[in-house]
Chain A
Amino acid sequence: MDDAAAPYVEVSGLCVVGREDGAAPVPIIIDLNFAIARGEVLALIGESGSGKTTAALALMGYARRGCSITAGHVRVGITDVLALPPHGLTAYRGRNVTYVAQSAAASFNPSQRIMSQVIEPALVHGLMSRGEAEDKARMLFRALALPDPEGVGSRYPHQVSGGQLQRLMAAMALITGPDLVILDEPTTALDVTTQIEVLWAFRNVVRQLHTTAVYVSHDLPVVAQLADRVVVLHGGKEQETAPIATILHEAEHPYTRSLLAAAKPSSKVASTPVAADAKRDVLAISGLVAGYGGLDAQGMPRFPVLHDIGFGIGPGSVLGVIGESGCGKSTLAQVIAGLLPAAHGTMLLDGRELPRRVAERTPEQLQAVQIVFQMADVALNPARTVAGILARPLKFYHGMRGAAARRRVAELLDMVHLSLQLAERYPDELSGGQKQRVNLARALAAEPKLILCDEVTSALDTIVAAAVLELLAELRRELGVALMFISHDLSTIRAICDQVMVLYAGRAVEAGPRATLESKPMHPYTELLLASVPELRTDWLDGIERAALEEASAGLTMEDLHRPCPFFRRCPVHLPGLCDVQPPPVQRLSKGAAIACHRTEDELRQAQ
C-alpha cells in the first residue's frame, strides 16, 4: 500500500474470541475497522466489557490469555502486525508500539531507580546511547511537567506520587519515539485532583511530539480533553466513529447518546430511603482521634492522622468516605476494625460501647464488623485454598466444620457469584476480580452487620470493578448488611452510597446525604473535588487556568497539617486571620449537610 492517502494505522475486519476452559468460544471483538492518521489521538470508548482493551492489545499483536485473534489485519506504519513472527513481535512491541497501563506502580520495579527503567526500552532496542537516552528522558520529564525533571530520575518509584509515576510511565512509553502509543485508562486509578494534572501533561506532550495515540477509556469527559476522534464500542462491535465534537454535540447512534446521558452529572441510583424512624445506628462514632506512633503526654498520637471524626451508619445503609490518597481513609477503617486503637473518641456498635482494641472485643462484636482490603491478592493467604480461607471464619465464629462448613462455603461462593470449582484453587490461581470476591465472601462468612470496604475496587480493572460494585449493591439489598465504602473515586461513591463523608487531611470537612455532592453551596474542598472531574466539553481542560490547576493538584505539606483548617493554602475563599488562627466551626447547610468552614452558607453560595 503506497497510496499517499493511506492512513497511518489501519485495523480492518478484526475479530477476537475468548474461551473459558472448555466452554464454547465467545466473540469479544466482532469485525472491527478503524484508521488513525499520523499525529491523531483516537479514543476507544465504551462501558466495561465492551472490548476496548482487547482491541487496543490487538494493535500490539497481543491477545490476553484465553483469547485469540481469529481474523483481520492490523497495520501500523508499514508493519503488518498480525503477520509478524514471534521474535519480530517482541522487537515491535516496546519499540514501535508502547503501552501505558492503568497502574504504573505495577509496571515499575520498586528496587531500581526511575531513570534506568525509563530509558531501558531505548537501550534494549539499541536506539541510542545511555547519555542520549537520559537526555531524551529529561526532555520528556520537562514536557510532562514533572517537578524536578533533572533529579526525579535518580529516585525510586516509591519516592514519587502516583500521579508522577503515571507520567513517568508515559515517558517510558515515549522514549523510543514509537509509531503508536496506547494509553489504557491511564488516569482511572488516580484522585480527581491528580487526574487533572496528569491529563494536562499528557495532552501537552502528545501535542508537542505529534504522537499518534490510542486512548482507551470508559470516561467520555476525560476522552473529550484529549482525543481527536472517537470509536464507540459496545459488545465488541463498533457503534459509531466520529470526531469528538460530533460525538458530543450531534451523536447519532442511540448507544452513544445513552453514554452521553450517563456521563452527565446526575445520580444513577435512586437513594434508598433511610428509615425515617431513625433506628439505632449499627455504628455510631464520635470525637475519634487516631494516628501512628506512641501517645504523648496529652494522649495524642505522635503522628496524628484522624481528628475528631464523627458519623453514624444506619442498618443496611452505605456510608461513602471520600478523599485524596493519604487523607486517612484506610486509617479510619483500621481504627474501626480495632487494628489501630484510637487515641480518643467513642465507638458504639448497636448502641453498645465498642472497645478500641480488637483483643478486647466480644465474639459478637468481632463478628459484626468485617473489613475487606484494597489489595485483593495480599489479603488472601497464598498457602490456603479458597475453601480453606472461607472455612476459617466459619469455624472461628460459628464453630462450623465438616460437611456443614462445606455446604456453607458453597453458599458463600454462590453469593459472590463464583463457581464452586474455584473452591479448591489457591489464590494465585484466581484473577483479581475473583480474589476480591473471595475477600468479600470471607467477610460474609462472619454474617456481619457492617463491612468496611477499603478501596475494594480501586486496584481492579474498570470492567471488574463495576461487577464487584454491582455485587456489593446486591449483597446490601439482599442481606441488609451496612457498608462503609471508602474510595477516592467520586463516581464510585455516587453509584453506591446513601450518605457521604468528605475527608481532608484526616478531618471530616463535609458530611450529609449523597445529594450533598450534587447541590451547592458546598465546602470549598468538596467543590474543588467536583470541579476536578472533567466535564463533557472539549475545551474544559483549556478553560482551567494554570493557577487553578496547581491549586487542584497541590498536595498537603507538613505546614498545612498544623493549620486550624488544613485546606487554607488551597482554599480560594480563605479568610486570613481567621481560618489560619481558629478551627473552623461545624455548620448545617440548608441542603442537609454539615460542613466545617468559617464561611457562611451565603458567602459560599456567592463564591460558587
Chain B
Amino acid sequence: MSAAQRTAVVAPVRRRSVTLGLSATGCVAALVVIALLVLAVIGPMLAPYPPGAIVTDDLFGPMSRAHLFGTDYLGRDMLSRILESARYTLGIALPAAALASLTGTSLGMLAASAGGLTDAALSRAMDTLICFPSIIFSLVVVAACGSSVTVLILTAGVIYTPGCFRIVRSIATDISAKDFVHAARARGERSPAIVLEEILPNMVAPILTDFGLRFVFIVLLLSSLSFLGLGIQPPYSDWGGLVRENLDGLSSGAPAVLIPAICIAVLTVSINLLIDSLPSRKGARRG
C-alpha cells in the first residue's frame, strides 16, 4: 500500500451523499418539516385575508375557490388562520421541546456523572415536578404570569424536563458503568471530557427520539391550554386551538376542524419519522 493510499484510508472524513444518509422516508419527512418551518415564517404574508376577519356568513363552509380550506365557526377564512397559527404551533412547541431536551439532558448528565448528593437532590426535585398534572401546573403559571409566547415556552419546557431528565439519567448511568468509560477514567480524563467524548455520543439517538415525543406532547398541551382560554389569545390561535374552537363542525365533517387536525398529524409524524430515519450507524452499515 502506498503512502497516498494509506492517508486516503485513514482520512477522518466520511463522505456523505446529498441525502445526508437519510432513507427515502426520511427525505420526504425532512422536506415536509422544512416546508412547514418556511410556512411558519412567511405564512402570514401569504394569507389571503386578515386572520381575525369575518369574511362570510357561511359558517363551517366547505372548501371552495374563495376559501381553499373552507371557513370556520365564525365565518373566517381557514387558510389564513392555518397560515397564521403555524408560527404559534411551531414557534412554541419547537423551542419548548428543545428547552426541555436541553435542560433535561444537562441535568440528567450532571446527576449521572456527579452521583451522590447532587444526583439525589436533582432526582427528588424532578420527581416533585412530575407530580403536578401538566394542565394544573400551566394553569397556575399562566394565571400568575399571564399568557405570552415566552411564558408558554418556558412553562411547557419546564413541564417536560423531568421526563427527559429521567431517560437521560438512566441511560447515562448505564453507559458510565461500561469499561470504555473506566478506560477513559484510568487514562486520567476529567468528568466533562468523559461526558462529552465518551457518554454523549452514545446518547444522541435516544435524546432525539425523546425530543420527538416531547414535541408531540407539547403540541397537545398547547391545544388544551387554548381550549381553556389560557393559550394563545384570540383572535390568534395555534393549530390545536383551531381544532378545539371548530369542534362543533366535526359532525358535519367541516374542513375547519379536519384541516388543522391533519396539519398537526403531518407535523408530528414527519418530525418523528425524520428523527427515526436519521442515519443510525448500526442499521446503515451492518451486513
Contact = CB atoms under 8 A, between A and B. Distances in A.
A419 to B, nearest CB: 9
A403 B7 contact: yes
Nearest to A454: B179
B158 to A, nearest CB: 30
Contacts, number: 82
Contact of B182 (A373, A382, A393, A397): A373
B285 A409 contact: no
B188 A379 contact: no
Given A409-B10, A426-B285, A442-B183, A381 B188 contact: no
B1 interface: yes
A373 B202 contact: no
Nearest to B182: A339
Interface in B180-206: 180, 182-189, 197-198, 201-202, 204
B10 A381 contact: no
A381 B180 contact: yes
Contact of B10 (A338, A370, A424, A428): A424
A363 B187 CA distance: 9
B281 A426 contact: yes
A378 interface: yes
Nearest to B285: A429
A363 B188 CA distance: 8
Given A420-B6, A420-B10, A382 B187 contact: no
B234 interface: no
B1 to A, nearest CB: 7
Given A392-B197, A420-B1, A423-B10, A378 B178 contact: yes
A256 B185 CA distance: 48
B201 A446 contact: no
Interface string A353-387: 00000110101001001110101001111111001
Nearest to A381: B180
A406 B187 contact: no
Contact of A383 (B7, B11, B189, B202): B202
B197 A410 contact: no
A393 B186 CA distance: 11
A361 B188 CA distance: 8
Contacts of B6: 410, 420
A214 interface: no
A393 B1 CA distance: 26
B281 A337 contact: no
B133 interface: no
A540 interface: no
A498 B179 CA distance: 28
Interface in B1-41: 1, 6-7, 9-12, 14
A111 interface: no
B198 A381 contact: yes
B282 interface: yes
Contacts of A303: none
A567 to B, nearest CB: 31
A553 B49 CA distance: 87
A392 B12 CA distance: 13
A438 to B, nearest CB: 11
Interface string A385-407: 00110001100110000010010
Instruction: Give the dominant DSSP class at A's interface.
Output: helix
A48 to B, nearest CB: 25
A339 B286 CA distance: 35
Contact of B183 (A379, A383, A388, A410): A379
Contact of A393 (B187, B285, B286): B187
Given A420-B6, A424-B14, A382 B202 contact: yes
Nearest to B197: A392
A421 interface: yes
Question: Which applies to chain B's interface (DSSP): helix, strand, loop or mixed?
Answer: helix
B183 A396 contact: no
A378 B181 CA distance: 9
A397 B187 CA distance: 9
Interface string B121-147: 000000000000000000000000000
Contacts of A363: 188
Contacts of B7: 403, 406
A452 to B, nearest CB: 9
Nearest to A402: B12
Interface in A29-76: none
A383 B204 CA distance: 10
Contacts of A446: 187
A338 B186 contact: yes
Contact of B9 (A334, A369, A384, A423): A423
Given A375-B179, A426-B281, A429-B285, A420 B188 contact: no
Contacts of B187: 366, 370, 392-393, 396-397, 446
B12 A387 contact: yes
Contacts of B1: 420
Contacts of A392: 184, 187, 197
Given A380-B180, A382-B202, A387 B186 contact: no
A369 B188 CA distance: 11
Interface in B239-287: 281-282, 285-286
15 contacts: A339-B186, A358-B188, A369-B186, A371-B183, A379-B182, A381-B180, A384-B201, A387-B12, A392-B184, A406-B12, A410-B6, A420-B6, A424-B10, A429-B285, A442-B183
Interface of B: 1, 6-7, 9-12, 14, 178-180, 182-189, 197-198, 201-202, 204, 281-282, 285-286
Closest 10 interchain pairs by CB?
Answer: A383-B201, A366-B188, A379-B179, A337-B186, A373-B179, A381-B180, A383-B202, A423-B10, A378-B179, A406-B10
